[in-house]
Chains A and B, each alone.
Chain A
Amino acid sequence: MPLLLQAITTPPDAADLLDGLRGGRLISVMHADLVGWATELPHDDAAFNREDLLEHHRLISNIDRRVAACLPARFPTWFTDTEALSARLRSQKDQLLAQLDQVRGCCELAVTALWTVADEAVEAAPTPGTPGRRYLMERRVAIAGSDSRRARAMRLADELEQTIGAELVRAQRQVCPSATVALSSALLVRRSDSQQLLSRLQRTDQDVRILVNGPWPPYTFADVRSD
């Protein structure tokens, strides 16, 4: 039976039962100190909807609570059968253990900073100069926002990371990924402080609104592929 992978983790503390996705059976496949958690389901991507995506997230979160370290799988990650998953655990053992080591005791916080005001540079008078240069300058503002916007976003990213301080294990940031979003950061932080951090980071400044989501399992800091 095909398997839809939820996560690869360290062995759980307790062996209580969990339900799988869409009423399928959740099974665990073990090799050395690795456990692969997956739902037995017929392989049918077209059937999946938003509810399934959120259910997948809930399942991973439940599993995450029971283990020391968890590597979430993207949706949908299929394996042909238990042998295939078992073979993956064997062949990728070292890489998976290394990844688990990195995320042990950690969770992910997702920071999204949205611009709340229009970009000043857009409102400014058209730039002087020759037509070609003017075109590129206009495109620069449209594409990347003004210099001041990007600088502001970078400073914000630095400041947020500093606020977390020693609890920050890894950060992956995207500065000005689009016209709406000033900053999108994935932060791997030690689990103990996460709730407090959330309230410390979330705020609205004069020009940005900072939204913090999580704590989540370490989605961004895991790399689990299908067969």
Chain B
Amino acid sequence: MPERFVSLSKPSADDVSLLELADRLLNRGVVLTGEATISVAGVDLIYLGLNVVLTAVQNLKANRATAAPGDNHSA
């Protein structure tokens, strides 16, 4: 197991402070769920941003129902 900065099962107040700060400071990059870079033989080829594409079907239907006629959603 790689050495960790903080103990995740029982984080101390300082651990939490550092992580909360990091959460706000670090570039969103890959912190958001559903983002990954797919590489082949060490070469980054595809950026995957699933958060943008996936949404609960219910939300989609609800959004479509309330969208104005002129609205245009692009991924």
Are A and B in contact, CB atoms below 8 Å, in the complex? yes
Determine if B39 is an interface residue (Cβ-Cβ < 8 Å): no
B20 touches A184 (CB 8 A): yes
Q: Mark B1-23, 1 if CB is under 8 A from A, else 0.
A: 00001001101010011001110
Interface size class of A (residues with CB under 8 A): 20 to 34
- Using a CB–CB cutoff of 8 Å, the interface residues on chain A facing chain B are 50, 53-54, 56-57, 72, 74-77, 108, 110, 112, 114, 180, 184, 186, 211, 213, 216, 219-220
Using A75-B25, A75-B27 as known contacts, say yes or no to A213 and B17 having CB atoms under 8 A apart.
yes
Q: Which residues of A contact B9 (CB under 8 A)?
A: 180
Other-chain residue from A53, A180, A186 in contact with B11 (beta carbon distance below 8 A): A180
Instruction: Find B22's partner among A53, A184, A220 (CB 8 Å cutoff).
Output: A53
Chain A residue nearest to B20 (CB atoms) is A110
Partner of B26 from the list A72, A74, A216 (CB cut-off 8 Å) is A74
Q: Does B73 contact A (CB under 8 A)?
A: no
- CA distance in complex: A180, B29 (Å): 24
Inter-chain contacts of B24 with A (CB < 8 A): 72, 74, 108, 110, 186, 216, 219-220
Q: How large is the interface on B (under 10, 10 to 19, 20 to 34, 35 or more residues)?
A: 10 to 19
A226 to chain B, nearest CB (A): 8
- Chain B's closest residue to A226 (CB) is B27
Contact of A77 among B5, B16, B21, B27 (CB under 8 A): B27
Q: Which of B8, B20, B25 contacts A56 (CB 8 A)?
A: B25
A9 to chain B, nearest CB (A): 17
A53–B25 CB distance below 8 A: yes
Please name the 9 residue pairs, one residue from A and one from B, whose CB atoms are nearest each other, closest first. Answer: A219-B24, A110-B20, A74-B27, A75-B25, A213-B17, A112-B16, A211-B16, A211-B13, A213-B20
A53:B26 contact, CB within 8 angstroms: yes
CA distance A108 to B16 in the complex (A): 16
Q: Which residue of A lies closest to B13 (CB)?
A: A211
**B25: contacting residue among A211, A213, A219, CB under 8 A:** A219
